[in-house]
Chains A and B, each alone.
Chain A
Amino acid sequence: MDHNHCRHLLGALSDYIDGELGSALCSEIEQHLQGCEDCRIVVDSLRKTVYLYKVTADTPGMPTDVRERLYKRLDLNEFLEIDR
Chain B
Amino acid sequence: MDRNKQTTEDFSLEALRSGDRSEFARLVEAYSGVIYRLGMRMLDDPQDAEDVLQETFIKAFRHLGGFNGRSSLSTWLYRIATNEALMMLRRRKRPSVSIDEPVETETELEEPRQIVDWCCLPETEMMSSEARAYMDNAVDQLPPTLRAVFLLRDIEGLSTEETSQVLDLSEAAVKTRLSRARMRLRELLSSYFGERLADQNLAHKEEA
A45 touches B119 (CB 8 A): yes
Q: Would you give the shortest CB distance from A15 to chain B, in whole angstroms?
A: 6
Give every chain A residue within 8 A of B3 (Cβ-Cβ): 58
What sequence of 0s and 1s flags, for each residue 46-83 of chain A, a beta carbon within 8 Å of any chain B beta carbon? 10111011111111011000110111011110010010
Does B203 count as interface, using CB distance less than 8 angstroms? Answer: no
Out of A10, A45, A56, A69, which one reaches B117, CB within 8 Å? Answer: A45
A-B pair count, CB < 8 Å, reads 118
* Interface residues in chain A, defined as those with a beta carbon under 8 Å from any beta carbon in chain B: 1, 7, 10-11, 13-15, 20, 38, 41-42, 44-46, 48-50, 52-59, 61-62, 66-67, 69-71, 73-76, 79, 82, 84
A-B residue pairs in contact (CB < 8 Å), sample of 26: A1-B111, A1-B115, A14-B175, A14-B183, A38-B115, A41-B116, A44-B119, A45-B118, A45-B189, A46-B186, A49-B189, A50-B182, A52-B135, A53-B139, A59-B37, A61-B36, A62-B32, A62-B36, A62-B53, A66-B46, A69-B54, A70-B50, A73-B54, A73-B58, A76-B25, A79-B28
For the residues of A in contact with B, the DSSP-based class is: helix
- Report if A71-B50 is in contact (Cβ < 8 Å); known contacts: A14-B175, A56-B127: no
Q: Which residues of A contact B112 (CB under 8 A)?
A: 1, 10, 38, 42
Residue from B36, B40, B107, B179 within 8 A of A14 (CB atoms): B179
Docked-complex contact B53 and A70, CB < 8 angstroms? yes
Q: Which residues of A contact B154 (CB under 8 A)?
A: 50, 53-54, 57
* A-contact 0/1 string along B15-32, CB 8 Å cutoff: 000000110110011001
Find out whether the CB atom of A45 lies under 8 angstroms from the CB atom of B36.
Answer: no
Other than the given A56-B132, A62-B37, A76-B21, 11 more pairs (CB < 8 A) read: A11-B176, A20-B175, A46-B182, A46-B183, A52-B126, A53-B154, A59-B37, A59-B40, A62-B33, A74-B54, A82-B29
CB under 8 Å from chain A, chain B span 108-143 = 109, 111-119, 126-127, 132, 135, 139
**Number of chain B interface residues as a range:** 35 or more
Instruction: Say if the beta carbon of B155 comes within 8 Å of chain A.
Output: yes
Q: Are A56 and B57 in contact (CB under 8 A)?
A: no
A42 partner residues in chain B, CB cutoff 8 A:
112, 115, 186
Of all chain B residues, which has the CB nearest A56?
B132
Q: Which of B32, B111, B175 is A67 in contact with, Cβ under 8 Å?
A: B32
Question: In this complex, what residue of A is CB-closest to B35?
Answer: A62
Residues in chain A near residue B115, CB distance under 8 A: 1, 38, 41-42
Min CB distance B148 to A, Å, is 15
| Chain B neighbourhood of A61, CB < 8 A | 33, 36-37
